[in-house]
Amino acid sequence: MNIVVLAGGISTEREISIVSGTMACRALRGKGHRAILVDVYCGDSRISAAADGQGADSRLFPEAYDVDAAAAYMRSFDGQIESMKRTRREFFGPNVLALCEAADVVFMALHGEDGEGGKVQAVFDLMGIRYTGSGALGSAVAMDKELSRKLFAADGIPVAAGIVLQRGEAHGPAAENGVGLPCVVKPCCGGSSVGVEIARTEEEYERALETAFGYEREVVVEQYIEGREFSVGVVEGKAYPVIEIAPLVGFYDYKNKYEAGSTIETCPAELEADKTAEMQRYAELAYRTLKLQCYARMDFMMAKDGSLYCLEANTLPGMTPTSLLPQEAAALGMDFPALCEHLIEVSVRGL
């Protein structure tokens, strides 16, 4: 297949997206596909996106291709992103849409808002471009943590007590906001735990709000659940094995997510069979509740008394061989290249 692996963008997760895209592109090429790596925002002015009358020609999707060079080209724009945002109105970079139209399918390696939140998916739906992952509606709903929390609660999926605050509006101390201390403060639509902090004092609470509001206008404040953290992938509506996430220091923040050796990940998680089944059942229900498609990953906390709490849904989870969903697939005997290919097959079937 001719495949565009779409990555990069302008979210706080740009670098992680490039890593995911690079790994996925290399894996798909290893399976015999003509995959190319494209930055959704910066595009590639070096490529002529004109295709001949027979469809996407071999110049666009060459048999020989340097994935690492393509990733380096994407990173060459890193220092220019902010200035580009000030001088440009359009989101899609040079040749991006034409390349995506020429491809058989787009492998979505985007993370964060403006990529994972439904906007790109909506454009592709209107243009008839096939892509991996959930559609525009499910992507948008899952990206909004407050909205997804409300839908989870309405469908009987347990969530921690929480409130949403707006930038610029008066707010009282944590002890009086209905959540109390300790609490978790996080941007409403962010990812990779960027801007997320745990506050145990009023001073920490105020600092955490200041940090989170630096990223977004809406902030979610949730009850802090002390216990064990887990994640469950769901592919075609069926839960994968549960994986436990145990940071050596602190919580599962950006550093512990992506710095090698900072977190112990166990798959399948060491849980009683009934607790595993309960978490997988909630993961599948969350998938249906948010109208997700093809694949996603649900994150959970388990309190010391065994109570489960669904934290959020990730519609485009990290895609490196050591990311959580690939580790769950490996527990089923599916290696990383096979998983990447399987997600394309699942997505194409669902369109």
* Cβ-based neighbours of 203, under 8 Å, separated by 6 or more: none
Please indicate whether residue 231 is annotated as part of the active site: no
* Mean pLDDT along residues 227-244: 97
* Cβ-based neighbours of 329, under 8 Å, separated by 6 or more: 233, 240, 335, 336, 338, 339, 342
Neighbour count for residue 244 (Cβ, 10 Å): 18
Superfamily of domain 226-334: ATP-grasp fold, B domain (3.30.470.20)
Please indicate whether residue 93 is annotated as part of the active site: no
pLDDT classification of 47: cutoffs 50, 70, 90:
confident
How far apart are the C-alpha atoms of 85 and 96, rounded to whole Å? Answer: 17
Of the residues 95, 314, 323, 347, only one is catalytic, namely 314
Residue among 23, 195, 206 nearest 113 (CA)? 195
In percent, the amount of the chain with pLDDT more than 90 equals: 73
Residue 53: predicted pLDDT: 43
Of the residues 2, 244, 318, 328, only one is catalytic, namely 318
Please indicate whether residue 197 is annotated as part of the active site: no
Using one digit for the tens of pLDDT, what is the confidence trace for 86-144? 999 999 999 999 999 999 999 999 998 788 899 999 999 999 999 999 999 999 999 99
Of the residues 39, 197, 222, 299, only one is catalytic, namely 299
Domain-wise residue ranges, the chain? 2-131, 161-223, 226-334
pLDDT at 179 over 70: yes
pLDDT at 192 over 70: no
Residue 249: predicted pLDDT: 56
Please indicate whether residue 95 is annotated as part of the active site: no
**What backbone phi and psi angles, to 5 degrees, belong to 33?**
-85, 150
Please indicate whether residue 13 is annotated as part of the active site: yes
Of the residues 2, 8, 13, 44, only one is catalytic, namely 13
Of the residues 44, 229, 312, 341, only one is catalytic, namely 312
Report, at the CATH architecture level, how domain 161-223 is classified: 2-Layer Sandwich (3.30)
Of the residues 252, 258, 282, 295, only one is catalytic, namely 258
Flag the least confident range among 173-177, 254-258, 342-346: 254-258
Of the residues 134, 148, 192, 231, only one is catalytic, namely 192
* Cβ-based neighbours of 286, under 8 Å, separated by 6 or more: 152, 157, 234, 298, 310, 313
Eight-class DSSP state of 131: B
Please indicate whether residue 299 is annotated as part of the active site: yes
Of the residues 2, 297, 328, 347, only one is catalytic, namely 297
Residue with tokens 């034409």: 98
Residue 251: predicted pLDDT: 52
Q: State which H helix or E strand residue 67 sits in.
A: helix 67-75
Flag the least confident range among 97-111, 244-258, 305-319: 244-258
Query: Domain 2-131 class?
Result: alpha beta
pTM of the model: 0.90
Using one digit for the tens of pLDDT, what is the confidence trace for 147-156? 999 999 999 9
The span from the first CA to the last CA of the chain, in angstroms, equals 17
Peptide bond into 268 cis (omega under 30): yes
Residue among 152, 150, 155, 151 nearest 163 (CA)? 150
Please indicate whether residue 86 is annotated as part of the active site: no
Neighbour count for residue 192 (Cβ, 10 Å): 20
Rounded to 5°, the CA angle 143-299-274 comes to: 140
Domains 161-223 and 226-334 share a fold: no
